[in-house]
């Protein structure tokens, strides 16, 4: 079946939202923690966190400033820091609930049942319940002219995680942590590893890595 750009634009709004959100493939499932200058914490589910680079270590998020994500954006703009916290199987329903449009003076930590955890490294709240937590400092932002979303790059200032998840070669077994993945707007999935593959070289075949 084929859909042109015109076909997609002509789809019913909710149908189109579900359809296009499914196209990019599986997404990361994270909670972004921030705090305002008046010390109000905010927590929001994001599926747009991506890896940017390992050295220096960096990640990025794409923020929709016209939605509930605007509180996240305004807090990052105020103090420059945010946390990324993995969403696990045991609390994904509570994590999804952070996407509701709560009044600005309500903290999703309290309302959705998460514990804010601070360190001396940065002024942004971690989710205590997450097995993998990353603290970031915004280094730059790019406004996407196409639809006014904002791509925010952050340098990784701190990582807090269960050390039992780290394998000998540095790979973190996020499946063992029951980190979930998202498809579309609202579908949550566990994963099952097939294998890790060796670094690919021309004119040969990759082999399975053993732990």
Considering only residues 157 to 196 of the shown chain, the ones binding a copy of itself according to CB under 8 A are: 157-163, 166-167, 169-172, 174-175, 179-181, 183-196
Q: Which residues pair with 141 in a beta bridge?
A: 152
98-157: which residues touch a copy of itself (CB under 8 A)? 98-103, 106, 111, 119, 121, 132, 134, 139-140, 142, 144-147, 149, 151, 153, 155-157
- What is the smallest separation between the CB atom of 127 and a copy of itself, expressed in angstroms? 13
Closer residue to a copy of itself in complex, CB, 37/142:
142
Q: Give yes or no for a contact between 107 and 31, defined as CB atoms under 8 angstroms apart.
A: no
Contact string 62-91 vs a copy of itself (x = CB under 8 A): x-x-------------------x-xx-x--
Residue 66's φ and ψ, nearest 5 degrees, are -95, 0
Burial of 124 (0-12, 13-18, 19+ CB in 10 A): buried
> How is residue 178 written in tokens?
């029951």
Helix (H, G, I), strand (E, B) or coil at 30: strand
- What is the smallest separation between the CB atom of 131 and a copy of itself, expressed in angstroms? 11
Closer residue to a copy of itself in complex, CB, 37/167:
167
Which residue from 37, 104, 115, 197 is in contact with a copy of itself, where contact means CB under 8 A? Answer: 197
Q: Which residues pair with 50 in a beta bridge?
A: 60
Decide if residue 210 touches a copy of itself (CB under 8 A): no
> How is residue 194 written in tokens?
């097939």
- What is the smallest separation between the CB atom of 182 and a copy of itself, expressed in angstroms? 8
Which residue from 39, 56, 105, 210 is in contact with a copy of itself, where contact means CB under 8 A? Answer: 56
- What is the smallest separation between the CB atom of 75 and a copy of itself, expressed in angstroms? 19
Closer residue to a copy of itself in complex, CB, 2/37:
2
Q: Which of 160, 185, 151 is nearest to 47 (CA)?
A: 185
CA atoms within 13 A on the CB side of 167: 12
Which residue from 37, 93, 104, 110 is in contact with a copy of itself, where contact means CB under 8 A? Answer: 93
Residue 138's φ and ψ, nearest 5 degrees, are -60, 130
- What is the smallest separation between the CB atom of 74 and a copy of itself, expressed in angstroms? 19
Contacts with 42 (C-beta within 8 Å, 6 or more apart), sequence order: 33, 34, 35, 36, 71, 72, 75, 107, 108
Cis peptide, bond prior to residue 179, ω within 30 of zero: no
């Amino acid at each position: 079946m084929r859909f042109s750009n015109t076909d997609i634009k002509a789809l019913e709004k909710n149908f189109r939202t579900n359809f296009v959100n499914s196209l990019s493939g599986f997404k990361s499932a994270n909670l972004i923690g921030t705090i305002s200058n008046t010390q109000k914490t905010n927590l929001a589910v994001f599926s747009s966190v991506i890896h940017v680079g390992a050295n220096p270590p960096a990640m990025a998020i794409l923020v929709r400033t016209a939605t509930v994500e605007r509180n996240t954006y305004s807090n990052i703009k105020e103090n420059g820091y945010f946390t990324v916290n993995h969403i696990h199987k045991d609390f994904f329903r509570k994590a999804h609930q952070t996407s509701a449009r709560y009044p600005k003076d309500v903290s999703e930590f309290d309302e959705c049942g998460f514990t804010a955890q601070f360190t001396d490294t940065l002024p942004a709240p971690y989710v205590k319940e997450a097995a993998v937590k990353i603290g970031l400092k915004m280094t730059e932002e790019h406004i996407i002219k196409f639809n006014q979303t904002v791509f925010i790059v952050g340098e990784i200032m701190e990582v807090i995680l269960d050390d039992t998840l780290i394998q000998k070669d540095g790979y973190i077994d996020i499946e063992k942590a029951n980190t979930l993945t998202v498809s579309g707007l609202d579908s949550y999935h566990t994963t099952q590893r097939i294998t890790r593959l060796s670094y690919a070289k021309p004119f040969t075949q990759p082999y399975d890595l053993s732990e």
